[in-house]
Homo-oligomer: A and B are copies of this chain.
């Protein structure tokens, strides 16, 4: 048995346009690093968090990595002590699944130490508990792709049913993160409680179209299906220059562009690395011109999920 291990788990883009709460994909970068060390004291503790600007609590009951590992040990009735050290690779409240990435890294690590006793469904279930605790609502569209890699459908939360989806080899993302913080908890509160049946039908037409396009490598179908009629109009108002970014991205050849998770990060999906590069430049230009600090990430979808690092 390993007594110490360091794991990288990827950030994620949840929702993917039309798929609010049911779709997400894993990024090659950024992501979080968590070091898991077995200790003799029978407790879960967090001894250090770096890269968070001092914002995250060391209390393991208030930290997603801590909550997830505690739940893992409880589920498998393991009496042991664990010390976690968390190195954040992305900002809190960036909309890139930061809270889920720390939980995923910790879960992958503790599971590795205990000979992969848990399957991915069980790990996601531990991560869900952590996500619910910090975001106010259980949602698996970050934790599932962070743990499984690839592009993932969460068909149902109760019972938990998570399905990896096919997608074209040549699918790239360009993600831009304007350096402001938005809290998922608050952004869930701006969501409408009800929607019209007409808009719901438009949305599920797009969801069905997106899944079909991803399966069939039909880029034109992916492109017209990405549009989100319900959440994007409400949340985009909290994101600086969202419309301009989206316009630039689509004009530079992006298949589509929408909010990553609850924002403020914005993602574009693109056919091929070259287009993704052009799209990222065109998105960056908007913030450069307006003196808004940002980070930008371009890559293909991460197929593997967490890795020993």
Q: Which of B153, B166, B191, B200 contacts A208 (CB 8 A)?
A: B153
Q: Which of A18-26, A67-75, A265-273, A296-304 contacts B (4 or more CB under 8 A)?
A: A18-26
- B193, B202, B204: the one contacting A207 at CB < 8 Å is B204
B-contacting residues of A (Cβ < 8 Å)?
19-23, 153-156, 161, 163, 165-166, 191-197, 200-209, 211-212, 215, 221, 224-225, 230
Cα distance A165–B155 in the bound complex, in angstroms:
19
Which B residues are CB-close (under 8 A) to A19? 204, 208
Q: How many copies of this chain does one complex carry? A: 2
> Is the beta-carbon distance between B205 and A155 smaller than 8 angstroms?
yes
Given that A200-B195, A212-B165 are known contacts, is A205 also in contact with B20, CB under 8 Å in the complex?
Answer: no
Min CB distance, A40 to chain B, in Å?
44
Is A209's CB under 8 angstroms from B21's CB? no
Which residues in B have their C-beta under 8 angstroms from that of A211? Answer: 208, 211-212, 215
Which chain B residues lie closer than 8 Å to A205 at the CB level? Answer: 21-22, 153-156
Q: Inside 8 A of A204's CB, which chain B residues have their CB?
A: 19-20, 22, 200, 203-204, 207
With the chains together, A237 CA to B242 CA distance in Å? 46
